[in-house]
C-alpha cells in the first residue's frame, strides 16, 4: 500500500522545550488515523506540523512522495478542520466553501457548481447564502467540513472538530465524518483527546504522551494488548485497575498485594521476587459464584446509571468493576471477585512496560 | 421607588451634569452668534438676542479660513496615511506573537508614545534644518506628527488584531494563501473597523496639531488652522465673537464626526489604552 | 534573492518587513532626535550654528547655567503644581462621574461618551474658549462666581500672577476629566458583579463595598490612569499658548512650555534641549509606571 504521509525521526523544539520527540509514523492512502492523548501531549503540534503551520526542527516529512519540511502550508494541498471551525465571518457559506478554489483561480461558475455539489452531500444546500453567525453550532461544523471536502486534498486534518458540540450531536457527527471519509476515499488524520472518538472512528490509533508516541495500532489491538501502563489506563472506560504484585518463587505466578494474597498463574516466566503491576479491566471482573476461587473485597460505593452499575471497593488500591444488571449490593458488603486468567495484563512496576506476550 | 422612576431621575441628573460639563462648548456657539456689544453685556446674555450669522462669512473671508483648513486637512490626511501605512503591519506583528522581542518592541512603542511634542520639537527642528526638510514645511510636520502619533495608533490597532482569531489566518494558509494573501484577504478585512476608528482618532489629533506646525511652518500660506487661530488671538484681543466663530467653524466638523461615531470611537479607545 | 522573496511571502520575512520598516522610521524620527537632544544639551547652539553638527562643546555648562537662572525653580515649581493640580482635579471629578454613570440607567453609555468631546477637540480651541470664559471683566465664570456670592470683585484669571497658573489648570481639568472618566468606567465595569453580591450577603453596606471591593479591584486601573494623567499633563502645551502664554512674568510658565520658548523665542536651542532632556527623563519614568500598571495587558 502506498504511504500518503510519512514522518521519520521528526523532532520539534520550542526554544528548550522538546514538543515532539523522534516521531515515526506512516499513514497509508485511504486510512483514518486518530492522534489521541491528554492535553499537552503534542498531538496538535504534530497535526499543525503536517499542515505546515509549525515547522519541524529535524526529521523528514513526506506527503505523497514529496519532502515537505519547508513547504509553506499553501503548497502542501492539505485541508484542515479547526476546533473553532475558523469560518471566515465576513463571507457567506458559499464564499467560505469556494475560497480555496478562488485562490487557485478556478472559474466562478465552476466554483459555484462545486459548492452546490458539496452542499448537497453535507446538507447545506439551503444555507449557502447565510453568514456563519447565522448558523447553529452543528451547521457551522458542516461548513467547516464542506470547506475541506470541496478541495479534494491529499489528506484531511481534523483538530478536535467535535469538541464544541453537545454530546448527542457529537455521537451523530462521529458516524457522519467516518461515512464521509469512506465515501470520498480520503486520507484523514484526526486529533482528539477523547479515546472513545479515537476508538470508534479510526482504523489506526496513535497514542501520544509528552511528545512521544507511546503506542500505535488498530483500536482493538490497543485495547487487547496495551504496550505499557499509560496506554492501558488511557484506553477503556472506566479505566483499567492496577494492582501491585510480586512474582512468586516459581517464576510462573504472581502474588497480588491485596488482603488474602491471591496467587495468579501467568503463562510466561519472570525472575522470582520481581515487582509488577497486574492490570485488569473493570468489565472483566465478575462476582464469583459460590465455591469459585477469587479474592474477597468489601464494597465502598455503588453507582448505577440504570443499564450499568459501577462498583468501587474499599481496598488499596481502589478497584472498580461493572455489573450489567441491577444489583442489590450496598456499601460495606463483602463479595468475592473473579476473572479469567487470559484477561490480565502484567506490567513491570519500574518501567511500566508490558511483560510477556 | 420604582425602576422607571429611578431611571428617569438618574437620566435627569445626568443630563444636568452633561449640560454643566458641556457649557464651555455651548458658550462658544452662543458667543459666535452675538454682536460686538451684546458680547460684553453685563449680566451676560445666554441666548443671542439677534443671531449674527454674517459673522461666519466675515471671519471665513477676512481670516482666509479656507486656506487654513485646507492646510490642516492636508497635514491630517498625510499623517494618517503615513501612520496607517506603517503602523498597521507593525500592530499586526506585535499582536500575532508572544515573545521577548514583542515585549521589547511594545515597551519601546509605549515609551515613544509619551514623549511630549514640545520637548521633541527642539531636536527635530534643528535636525530637519540640517537635512533641508524645512524647505517642505508641511511634509516636515507630517513626518513629525507621524512619529509622534504612530505609537498610539499601533497600540489601538494591536488590540483590534488581537480580537481576530489566529485560526482564521491559519485556515487561509491551509486553503492556499501565502502570508501576504492571508493578511490582505482575511486579517485586514476583519480588522477594518478598528483600523478605521483608530485612523479617525489620529486624524482628529493631527487636525488640531499645534506645536510642530507653529514651530516649523513660517510661511503663512502653508499654516494650518490651529496656527491661524493662535495668531488671531492677540494678547489684548476683544474680537471674541469673531474668534469663537473661527473656533466654531474649526471644530464643528470634528465634533460632528465624533458624535456620529461616538460608540465606536469610545470602545476603540478604551480597548487600547487599558484593559 | 529568491529565498528572501519567498520568505517575505510565506515566512518570517513577512513579519520582519512589517515590523522593521516602522521601527526604522520611528528610530529615525524619534530615537535619533532623542539622542541628538542629549548631544545638543552639551553644546552651545544658536541661530548661527544651527546648520552644523560640530559645535562648541560646553560640557555641563548648560545644566549649570540653567539652574543658576532665577526663573528656573519657580518654573519647576509651577510644573509640579500644574501636574498635581490637574491630575487631582481630573481624577476626582472623573471618578465621581464614572461612579455616577456606573449605576447604568438607559442612555448612560451614550451620554457618558458625549463627555469625551472635550478630549477630541483641538487643544488650541479649548484654550481659546477658556480664555474667553476666564476673561476678567466680561468672563462668564466671574459672572457665575459673583452671582453665587463666592467673590465680590472680579478675578483677573489671566493677568493676575497668583491666578494665571490656575486658569490653565482649570482648562486642563476640563479637557482631561472626560478621558479619565471613560477609562475609570471601563475599570469599574470589569469588576465582576458577583463580588458585590457576595459582599452584600456578608453584610457590607455601600460605603464598605466601595472601600473593600471597588477601590482594591481598581488598583491597577487607577495606577495606569494616574500615570497616563502625568504623561498627558506633561504634554500639555496648547492651553498655555492659548490662555496665558506662560505669563505674566513666567507666573504660569511650566517646563515643557519654557523649553519651547527658549528654543523658538530666545533661539537658545542648547538650553531648550537641556530642559527637554531633564523633562524627558521624568516622562520616561511616568511611562515606565504606566507600562508596569498595564503589564497584564502587554503580556496578555
Do A219 and A247 fall into the same domain? no
Q: Give the nearest chain C residue to B247 (CA atoms).
A: C125
Cβ-based neighbour number of residue B16 at 10 Å: 10
- On whether any CB of chain B is under 8 Å from the CB of C224, the answer is yes
- Among the listed residues B195, B203, B201, the one whose alpha carbon sits nearest the alpha carbon of residue B91: B195
When CB atoms are compared, the residue of C19, C97, C224 closest to B93 is C19
User: Min CA distance, B175 vs chain A (Å)?
Assistant: 5
Do A188 and A270 fall into the same domain? no
Residues of chain C with C-beta less than 8 angstroms from the C-beta of A72: 6, 9-11
| Domains of chain C: residue spans and CATH | 70-299 (1.10.3720.10)
Residues of chain B with C-beta less than 8 angstroms from the C-beta of A76: 174
**Residue where a domain stops, chosen among A234, A259, A294:** A234
What is the per-residue pLDDT for B275?
A: 38
**Whole-prediction pTM value?**
0.84
Place of cell 446509571: A305
With CB atoms and an 8 Å threshold, state whether C11 touches A72.
yes
Residue A354 lies in a domain: no
| Domains of chain B: residue spans and CATH | 3-52 (no CATH), 64-273 (1.10.3720.10)
Do A162 and A296 fall into the same domain? no
**Residue where a domain stops, chosen among A234, A249, A279:** A234
The CATH number assigned to the domain holding A225 equals 3.40.50.300
Residue A355 lies in a domain: no
Do A184 and A84 fall into the same domain? yes
With CB atoms and an 8 Å threshold, state whether B44 touches C114.
no
Counting one residue from B and one from C, how many pairs have CB atoms under 8 Å apart?
296
- Whether residue A32 contacts residue A55, with contact meaning beta carbons closer than 8 Å, is answered with no
What is the per-residue pLDDT for C294?
A: 66
Rounded Cα gap, residues A293 and A312, in angstroms = 20
- On whether any CB of chain C is under 8 Å from the CB of A76, the answer is no
Residues of chain A with C-beta less than 8 angstroms from the C-beta of B165: 84, 86
When CB atoms are compared, the residue of B168, B178, B186 closest to A74 is B178
The CATH number assigned to the domain holding A245 equals 2.40.50.140
Residues of chain A with C-beta less than 8 angstroms from the C-beta of B181: 74, 103
Q: Which domain holds residue A323?
A: 241-348
User: Min CA distance, B39 vs chain C (Å)?
Assistant: 8
- On whether any CB of chain C is under 8 Å from the CB of A72, the answer is yes
With CB atoms and an 8 Å threshold, state whether C25 touches B210.
no
Do A224 and A248 fall into the same domain? no
Residue A11 lies in a domain: yes
Which of A68, A69, A72, A103 would you mutate first to test chain C, the one with the most C CBs within 10 A?
Answer: A72
What is the per-residue pLDDT for A70?
A: 87
With CB atoms and an 8 Å threshold, state whether A86 touches B176.
no
Do A210 and A270 fall into the same domain? no
Q: What is the mean pLDDT of each run of 10 residues along chain A (357 residues)?
A: 88 91 94 93 93 91 91 89 90 91 89 92 91 91 91 92 89 91 92 92 94 94 93 91 90 82 80 90 88 83 88 89 84 87 89 86
Cβ-based neighbour number of residue A50 at 10 Å: 26
Residue A51 lies in a domain: yes
With CB atoms and an 8 Å threshold, state whether B175 touches A147.
yes
- Among the listed residues A347, A339, A321, the one whose alpha carbon sits nearest the alpha carbon of residue A238: A321
The 3-state secondary structure of chain A reads CCEEEEEEEEEEEECCEEEEEEEEEEEECCCEEEEECCCCCCHHHHHHHHHCCCCCCEEEEEECCEECCCCCHHHCCEEEECCCCCCCCCCCHHHHHHHHHHHHCCCHHHHHHHHHHHHHHHCCHHHCCCCHHHCCHHHHHHHHHHHHHCCCCCEEEEECCCCCCCHHHHHHHHHHHHHHHHHHCCCEEEEECCHHHHHHHCCEEEEEECCEEEEEECHHHHHHCCCEHHHHHHCCCCCCEEEEEEECCCCCEEEECCCCCCEEECCCCCCCCCEEEEEECHHHCEECCCCCCCEEEEEEEEEECCCCEEEEECCCCCCEEEECCCCCCCCCCEEEEECCHHHCEEEECCCCEECCC
Residue A265 lies in a domain: yes
Confidence of residue B272 (pLDDT cuts 50, 70, 90): low
- Whether residue B191 contacts residue B171, with contact meaning beta carbons closer than 8 Å, is answered with no
What is the per-residue pLDDT for C299?
A: 36
Residues of chain A with C-beta less than 8 angstroms from the C-beta of C6: 72
Do A13 and A108 fall into the same domain? yes
Length of chain C: 300
With CB atoms and an 8 Å threshold, state whether C11 touches A74.
no
Do A225 and A269 fall into the same domain? no
3-state secondary structure of B146: helix
User: Min CA distance, A73 vs chain B (Å)?
Assistant: 5
Residue A70 lies in a domain: yes
- On whether any CB of chain A is under 8 Å from the CB of C11, the answer is yes
Chains that touch A (3 or more CB pairs under 8 A): B, C
What is the per-residue pLDDT for C87?
A: 95
Do A19 and A115 fall into the same domain? yes
Do A290 and A324 fall into the same domain? yes
Write out the three cell numbers for A127: 444555507
Q: What distances in angstroms separate CA A339 from CA A179, A302, A331, A342, B7, one per listed residue? A: 37, 20, 22, 9, 72
Rounded Cα gap, residues A81 and B75, in angstroms = 47
Rounded Cα gap, residues B120 and B117, in angstroms = 5
Q: Give the nearest chain A residue to B169 (CA atoms).
A: A86
Please write the tens of the pLDDT for every residue from A54-86. 889 999 999 999 999 888 888 889 999 999 888
Rounded Cα gap, residues B202 and B270, in angstroms = 15
With CB atoms and an 8 Å threshold, state whether C117 touches B126.
no
What is the per-residue pLDDT for C11?
A: 75
Segment 106-145 of chain C within 8 Å of chain B by CB = 106-118, 120-126, 128-133, 135, 137-138, 140, 143
Q: What is the pLDDT along chain C (300 residues), one digit of tens a residue?
A: 677 777 777 778 888 889 999 999 999 999 999 998 888 888 887 777 777 777 778 888 888 888 888 888 999 999 999 999 999 999 999 999 999 988 878 888 888 888 989 988 999 999 999 999 998 888 899 999 998 888 888 888 888 888 999 999 999 999 999 999 988 988 888 888 888 888 888 878 888 888 888 888 888 888 888 888 888 898 899 999 999 888 788 899 999 999 999 888 888 888 888 989 988 888 888 778 777 776 654 333
**Residue where a domain stops, chosen among A203, A234, A265:** A234
Write out the three cell numbers for A331: 456499601
User: Min CA distance, A162 vs chain B (Å)?
Assistant: 16
Residue A356 lies in a domain: no
Do A187 and A255 fall into the same domain? no
When CB atoms are compared, the residue of B25, B113, B210 closest to C124 is B210
When CB atoms are compared, the residue of C36, C106, C111 closest to B18 is C111
Please write the tens of the pLDDT for every residue from A199-216. 999 999 999 999 999 999
Q: Give the nearest chain C residue to B234 (CA atoms).
A: C242
Do A92 and A174 fall into the same domain? yes
Residues of chain A with C-beta less than 8 angstroms from the C-beta of C11: 72
Q: How many domains does chain A have?
A: 2
When CB atoms are compared, the residue of C18, C120, C122 closest to B226 is C122
With CB atoms and an 8 Å threshold, state whether B89 touches C284.
no
Write out the three cell numbers for C58: 560646553
Q: Give the nearest chain B residue to C123 (CA atoms).
A: B208
Segment 163-192 of chain C within 8 Å of chain B by CB = 174, 177-178, 182-183, 186-187, 190
Amino acid at each position: 500500500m502506498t504511504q500518503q504521509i510519512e514522518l521519520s525521526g521528526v523532532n520539534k523544539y520550542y526554544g528548550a522545550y522538546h514538543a515532539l520527540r523522534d516521531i515515526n509514523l506512516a499513514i497509508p492512502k485511504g486510512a483514518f488515523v486518530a492522534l489521541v492523548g491528554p492535553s499537552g501531549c503534542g498531538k496538535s503540534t504534530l497535526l499543525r506540523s503536517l499542515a505546515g503551520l509549525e515547522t519541524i526542527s529535524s526529521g523528514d516529512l513526506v506527503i505523497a512522495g514529496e519532502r515537505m519540511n519547508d513547504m509553506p502550508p499553501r503548497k502542501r494541498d492539505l485541508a484542515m478542520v479547526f476546533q473553532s471551525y475558523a469560518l471566515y465571518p465576513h463571507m457567506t457559506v458559499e464564499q467560505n466553501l469556494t475560497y480555496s478554489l478562488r485562490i487557485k483561480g478556478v472559474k466562478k461558475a465552476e466554483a459555484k457548481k462545486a459548492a452546490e455539489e458539496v452542499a448537497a452531500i453535507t446538507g447545506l444546500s439551503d444555507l449557502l447564502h447565510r453568514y456563519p453567525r447565522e448558523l447553529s453550532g452543528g451547521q457551522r461544523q458542516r461548513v467547516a467540513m464542506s470547506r475541506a471536502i470541496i478541495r479534494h486534498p491529499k489528506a484531511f486534518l481534523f483538530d478536535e472538530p467535535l469538541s464544541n458540540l453537545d454530546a448527542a450531536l457529537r455521537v451523530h457527527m462521529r458516524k457522519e465524518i467516518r461515512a464521509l471519509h469512506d465515501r470520498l476515499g480520503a486520507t484523514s488524520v484526526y486529533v482528539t483527546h477523547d479515546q472513545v472518538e479515537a476508538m470508534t472512528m479510526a482504523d489506526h490509533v496513535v497514542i501520544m504522551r509528552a511528545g512521544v508516541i507511546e503506542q500505535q495500532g488498530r483500536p482493538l489491538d490497543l485495547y487487547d494488548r496495551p504496550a505499557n501502563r499509560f496506554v492501558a489506563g488511557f484506553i477503556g472506560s472506566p479505566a483499567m485497575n492496577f494492582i501491585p504484585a510480586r512474582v512468586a518463587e516459581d517464576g510462573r505466578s504472581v502474588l497480588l498485594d491485596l488482603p488474602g494474597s491471591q496467587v495468579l498463574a501467568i503463562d510466561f516466566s519472570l525472575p522470582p521476587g520481581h515487582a509488577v503491576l497486574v492490570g485488569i479491566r473493570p468489565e472483566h471482573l465478575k462476582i464469583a459464584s459460590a465455591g469459585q476461587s477469587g479474592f474477597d473485597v468489601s464494597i465502598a460505593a455503588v453507582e448505577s446509571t440504570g443499564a450499568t452499575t459501577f462498583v468501587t471497593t474499599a481496598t488499596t488500591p481502589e478497584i472498580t468493576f461493572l455489573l450489567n444488571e441491577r444489583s442489590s449490593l450496598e456499601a460495606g458488603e463483602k463479595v468475592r471477585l473473579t476473572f479469567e486468567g487470559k484477561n490480565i495484563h502484567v506490567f513491570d512496576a519500574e518501567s511500566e512496560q508490558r511483560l510477556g506476550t | 421607588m420604582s425602576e422607571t422612576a429611578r431611571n428617569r431621575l438618574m437620566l435627569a441628573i445626568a443630563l444636568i451634569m452633561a449640560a454643566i460639563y458641556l457649557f464651555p462648548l455651548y458658550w462658544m456657539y452662543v458667543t459666535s452668534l452675538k454682536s460686538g456689544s451684546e458680547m460684553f453685556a453685563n449680566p451676560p446674555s445666554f441666548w443671542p438676542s439677534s443671531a449674527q450669522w454674517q459673522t461666519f462669512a466675515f471671519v471665513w473671508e477676512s481670516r482666509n479660513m479656507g486656506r487654513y483648513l485646507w492646510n490642516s486637512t492636508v497635514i491630517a490626511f498625510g499623517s494618517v496615511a503615513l501612520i496607517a501605512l506603517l503602523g498597521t503591519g507593525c500592530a499586526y506583528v506585535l499582536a500575532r506573537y508572544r515573545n521577548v522581542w514583542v515585549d521589547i518592541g511594545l515597551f519601546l512603542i509605549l515609551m515613544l508614545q509619551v514623549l511630549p511634542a514640545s520637548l521633541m520639537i527642539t531636536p527635530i527642528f534643528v535636525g530637519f534644518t540640517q537635512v533641508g526638510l524645512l524647505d517642505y514645511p508641511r511634509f516636515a510636520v507630517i513626518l513629525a506628527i507621524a512619529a509622534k502619533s504612530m505609537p498610539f495608533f499601533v497600540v489601538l490597532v494591536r488590540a483590534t488584531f488581537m480580537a481576530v482569531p489566529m485560526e482564521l489566518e491559519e485556515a487561509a494558509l491551509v486553503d492556499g494563501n501565502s502570508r501576504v494573501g492571508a493578511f490582505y484577504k482575511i486579517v485586514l478585512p476583519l480588522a477594518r473597523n478598528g483600523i478605521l476608528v483608530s485612523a479617525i482618532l489620529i486624524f482628529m489629533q493631527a487636525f488640531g496639531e499645534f506645536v510642530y506646525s507653529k514651530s516649523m511652518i513660517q510661511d503663512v500660506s502653508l499654516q494650518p488652522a490651529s496656527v491661524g487661530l493662535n495668531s488671531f488671538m492677540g494678547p489684548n484681543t476683544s474680537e471674541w465673537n469673531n474668534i469663537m466663530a473661527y473656533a466654531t467653524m474649526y471644530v464643528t466638523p470634528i465634533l460632528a464626526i465624533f458624535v456620529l461615531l461616538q460608540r465606536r470611537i469610545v470602545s476603540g479607545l478604551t480597548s487600547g489604552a487599558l484593559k | 534573492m529568491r529565498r528572501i522573496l519567498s520568505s517575505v511571502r510565506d515566512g518570517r520575512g513577512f513579519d520582519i518587513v512589517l515590523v522593521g520598516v516602522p521601527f526604522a522610521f520611528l528610530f529615525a524620527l524619534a530615537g535619533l532626535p532623542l539622542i541628538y537632544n542629549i548631544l545638543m544639551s552639551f553644546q552651545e547652539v544658536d541661530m548661527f550654528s544651527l546648520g552644523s553638527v560640530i559645535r562648541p562643546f560646553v560640557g555641563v555648562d548648560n545644566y549649570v547655567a540653567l539652574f543658576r537662572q532665577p526663573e528656573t525653580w519657580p518654573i519647576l515649581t509651577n510644573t509640579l503644581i500644574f501636574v498635581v493640580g490637574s491630575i487631582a482635579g481630573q481624577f476626582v471629578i472623573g471618578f465621581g462621574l464614572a461612579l455616577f454613570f456606573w449605576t447604568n440607567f438607559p442612555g448612560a453609555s451614550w451620554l457618558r461618551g458625549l463627555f469625551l468631546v472635550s478630549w477630541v477637540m483641538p487643544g488650541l480651541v479649548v484654550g481659546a474658549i477658556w480664555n474667553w470664559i476666564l476673561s476678567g471683566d466680561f468672563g462668564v465664570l466671574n459672572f457665575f462666581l459673583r452671582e453665587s456670592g463666592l467673590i465680590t470683585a472680579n478675578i483677573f484669571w489671566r493677568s493676575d500672577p497668583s491666578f494665571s497658573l490656575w486658569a490653565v489648570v482649570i482648562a486642563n481639568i476640563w479637557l482631561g476629566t472626560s478621558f479619565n472618566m471613560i477609562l475609570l468606567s471601563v475599570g469599574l465595569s470589569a469588576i465582576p458583579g458577583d463580588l458585590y453580591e457576595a459582599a452584600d450577603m456578608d453584610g457590607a453596606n455601600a460605603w464598605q463595598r466601595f472601600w473593600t471591593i471597588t477601590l482594591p479591584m481598581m488598583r491597577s486601573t487607577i495606577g495606569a490612569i494616574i500615570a497616563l494623567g502625568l504623561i498627558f499633563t506633561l504634554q500639555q502645551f496648547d492651553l498655555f499658548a492659548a490662555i496665558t502664554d506662560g505669563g505674566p512674568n513666567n507666573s504660569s510658565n511650566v517646563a515643557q512650555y519654557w523649553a519651547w520658548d527658549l528654543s523658538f523665542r530666545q533661539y537658545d536651542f542648547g538650553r531648550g534641549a537641556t530642559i527637554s532632556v531633564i523633562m524627558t527623563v521624568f516622562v520616561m519614568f511616568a511611562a515606565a509606571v504606566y507600562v508596569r500598571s498595564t503589564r497584564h495587558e502587554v503580556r496578555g
